[in-house]
Amino acid sequence: METTLRGVGVSHGVAIGEVRHMGTAVLEPPAKQIPVEEAEREQGRARQAVEAVAADLIARGNLAGGEAQHVLEAQAMMAQDPELMADVERRIAVGSTAERAVYDAFAAYRALLANAGEYLAGRVADLDDVRNRIVARLLGVPMPGVPDSDEPYVLIARDLAPADTALLDPALVLGFVTEEGGPTSHSAILARALGVPAVVALPGAGELAEGTVVAVDGSTGEIFVEPSAEKRAEMESAAAARKAALSASSGPGATSDGHRVPLLANVGGPGDVPAAVEAGAEGVGLFRTEFLFLDDSTQAPSEEKQVAAYRAVLEAFPEGRVVVRVLDAGADKPLDFLTPADEPNPALGVRGLRSLLDHPDVLRTQLTALSKAAQGLPVHLEVMAPMVADRADAKAFADACREAGLQAKFGAMVEIPSAALRARSILREVEFLSLGTNDLAQYTFAADRQVGAVSRLQDPWQPALLDLVALSAEAARAEGRSCGVCGEAASDPLLACVLVGLGVTSLSMGAASIPYVRATLAKYTLAQCERAASAARAADSAEEARVAAQMVLSGE
> What burial class does residue 210 get, using C-beta atoms within 10 Å of its C-beta: 0-12 exposed, 13-18 middle, 19+ buried?
exposed
> What burial class does residue 446 get, using C-beta atoms within 10 Å of its C-beta: 0-12 exposed, 13-18 middle, 19+ buried?
exposed
Per annotation, catalytic residue among 70, 401, 483, 486:
486
In the sheet with 213-217, reading across from the earlier edge strand, the strands are 3-6, 222-225, 213-217, 14-21, 153-157, 173-178, 198-200, 8-11
What is the number of residues in the chain? 556
- In the chain, what is the straight-line distance between the N-terminal and C-terminal CA atoms, in Å? 30
Among 548, 526, 524, smallest CA distance to 536 is for 548
Distance (Å, whole) CA 363 – CA 356: 6
State the pairing for strand pair 283-288/263-267. parallel
Q: How many CB atoms are closer than 10 A to CB 38? A: 15
> What burial class does residue 402 get, using C-beta atoms within 10 Å of its C-beta: 0-12 exposed, 13-18 middle, 19+ buried?
exposed
Evaluate the CA torsion angle 160, 164, 170, 171 in order and state its sign.
Answer: negative
Per annotation, catalytic residue among 186, 401, 497, 529:
186
Evaluate the CA torsion angle 134, 136, 138, 142 in order and state its sign.
Answer: negative
Which residues, in sequence order, are CB contacts of 509 under 8 Å at separation 6+? Answer: 263, 264, 265, 266, 285, 486, 488, 490, 491, 517
Position 30, amino acid: P
Distance (Å, whole) CA 217 – CA 224: 8
Distance (Å, whole) CA 517 – CA 145: 33
Distance (Å, whole) CA 267 – CA 509: 9
Distance (Å, whole) CA 115 – CA 344: 9
Catalytic: 486?
yes
Q: Which of the 8 DSSP states describes residue 368?
A: H
Among 414, 389, 442, smallest CA distance to 122 is for 442
> What burial class does residue 110 get, using C-beta atoms within 10 Å of its C-beta: 0-12 exposed, 13-18 middle, 19+ buried?
middle
Catalytic: 259?
no
Tell me the catalytic residues: 186, 486
